[in-house]
Each structure stands twice: as C-alpha cells, then as structure tokens.
C-alpha cells in the first residue's frame, strides 16, 4: 500500500512539473517530505551532540520513531549575534517559501522544542562536499553534460532565491553538493530583512547591496520560477509561512519581488528572453 502511495506521489510530482525546476531533492524524497516533517515533530530524541560550527551553536539531535532513525540540526538563535540579527523562525520560513516556489533545495524544517527552548529542527543532510571544500581542495567542478548544466543553473537560481528572502549569510560553508552535483541550501537564520534598504536594493543581482558592489547576477532562470515569483501575494506568502514572518517582513518580500522582476525584464531587453529564461 505504501509503495502504491509513493508511486502515485511521484507521478503527481511529474504532472505538476517539478522536473522543470530540476528539483535538487530526488522525487522520492520530495514525496516523503510530509512524512519527514511529522517525524521531526514527533520522534523521540535519543541523544544529541553539539556540532561546534557556526555562531548559532547548532546541536545535532538523534531521533527515533518506530523503525526509523534519523538526525536533525536544531538551533534557536535570536537577537543580535556576531553583529547580525538572527532568528530561528527564519529557517522555517525559508523552507516553506522554498516549497511554495517549488525549488526543493532546503531540507525539511519544523519548529521543535529542545531543553524547554523553542527552535528550528532541520533534517540532517549527508553531503558529498560544501562549496568551501570544493574551493579549498580544488575539486573539479562539472564541466560538461547534465551535471554541469544543472550546477550552473542552480547557482543562478540560488542567487535569485537569496535575493528574494534577503539572505545575508550565503557562504561557501552552507552551500552543499551531492555526489551528482545537486545543490542543497542550509542556514537561513539571517534572512528576511525588512529595513528600508532591503526593500529598495537586492543582496544579489546586477547592482547588489554588498560592500564590494561586485555584480552577482542571476543570468539564467526557469520560466516556471519566474511565473511563481510573479504570482506571489501577501496572502499566499502568509498562508505558506504562517506565524514565522511578520507582516512587515512579508511586505519586504513583495518589494524585492518587484525589484527581481524588473531586473529580469532589463536583462531580457539586453540579451533576449531565450538567453535568460529556460
């Protein structure tokens, strides 16, 4: 019975067009996402250990329920840390917005209490390497074939998503790759900025709000993603993210949406639609 449900879910994913965005989590993983969310919410915490990486002091929780054993990253940053505004709730909001847009690059993430503290719990991802490891170890990036095409497209799509959510903390450490070069994104506790400057300028793009001002454009984007960006409304975002973003933070997303669409339109005028959208 469970196999039939999984097969039906996989067929539904294909019908809905997830393939056109080259989902980074595999179809069977996407089909199990709701089950994994429930597992994160309800599984018994059998042990834990501090990860020892990052200013947010994440903890790895080892979980068990029935015959399933998995682990997840729990964190509860809040307030100013290391000179940045941190919020564990932004991890959940980023995951839910990733789902709304059909990107499927962020692992399942839920709210979970640990040691009487609220925080975010994200499914642990077994990566092949991070972008930092690729750079430090001179690991060759894919140069041809589907893997190279997917890697390049995901680079630009990640930038567009980070621009939309105003993510101040996209680093080489929190960009992961699988063995076949699918992209996984983690660490979004410094996202969803709502100050005025983040509603008038993007953190990624042709003229990014960055100290060096170096352009980080999103040169190629899926048409489906652009259409989903166009369709974002206050109500659709509110319904997706629930209590994890304020009204001001949602309005800031909508302001950045317009900036992104304008930048895409400007690039199309210069290069042509077929060069920018696929």
User: Could you tell me the fold of the domain covering 129-276?
Assistant: 1.10.1070
For residue 242, the model assigns a pLDDT of 97
Using alpha carbons, select from 29, 30, 28, 24 the residue that is nearest to residue 147: 24
- The whole-number pLDDT of residue 10 equals 38
pLDDT value at position 35? 97
Ranges of each domain in the chain: 36-123, 129-276
User: Could you give phi then psi for residue 174, rounded to 5 degrees?
Assistant: -110, 20
Mean pLDDT per 10-residue segment, the chain (278 residues): 41 38 79 96 98 80 97 93 88 99 97 98 94 96 91 95 97 94 96 98 94 90 98 99 98 99 97 97
Residue 36: its pLDDT value, please?
Answer: 97
What is the rounded CA–CA span in Å between residue 275 and residue 80?
A: 41
Neighbouring residues of 39: CB distance < 8 A, sequence distance ≥ 6: 63, 65, 68, 70
pLDDT value of residue 271: 96
Running DSSP on this structure, what letter comes out for residue 206?
A: S
Q: Is 189 exposed, middle or buried (0-12, 13-18, 19+ CB in 10 A)?
A: buried
Q: What is the pLDDT of residue 20?
A: 41
pTM score above 0.75:
yes
């Amino acid at each position: 019975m469970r196999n039939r449900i999984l097969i039906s879910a996989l067929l539904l994913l294909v019908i809905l067009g997830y393939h056109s965005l080259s989902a980074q989590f595999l179809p069977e993983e996407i089909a199990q996402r709701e089950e994994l969310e429930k597992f994160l919410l309800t599984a018994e915490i059998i042990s834990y250990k501090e990860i020892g990486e990052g200013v947010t002091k994440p903890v790895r929780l080892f979980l068990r329920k029935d015959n399933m054993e998995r682990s997840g990253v729990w964190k509860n940053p809040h307030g100013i840390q290391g000179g940045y505004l941190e919020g564990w709730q932004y991890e959940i909001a980023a995951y839910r917005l990733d789902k709304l847009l059909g990107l499927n690059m962020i692992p399942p993430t839920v709210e979970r209490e640990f040691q009487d503290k609220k925080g975010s719990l994200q499914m642990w991802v077994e990566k092949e390497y991070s972008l930092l490891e690729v750079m430090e170890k001179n690991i060759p990036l894919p140069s041809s074939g589907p893997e190279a095409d997917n890697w390049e497209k995901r680079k630009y799509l990640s930038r567009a998503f980070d621009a939309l959510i105003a993510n101040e903390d996209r680093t080489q450490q929190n960009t992961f790759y699988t063995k076949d070069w699918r992209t996984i994104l983690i660490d979004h506790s410094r996202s969803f900025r709502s100050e005025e400057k983040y509603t008038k300028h993007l953190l990624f793009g042709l003229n990014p709000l960055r100290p060096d001002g170096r352009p980080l454009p999103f040169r190629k984007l899926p048409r489906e993603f652009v259409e989903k960006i166009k369709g974002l409304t206050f109500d659709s975002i509110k319904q997706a993210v629930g209590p994890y973003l304020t009204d001001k933070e949602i309005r800031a997303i909508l302001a950045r949406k317009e900036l992104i669409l304008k930048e895409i339109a400007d690039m199309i005028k210069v290069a042509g639609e077929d060069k920018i959208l696929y």
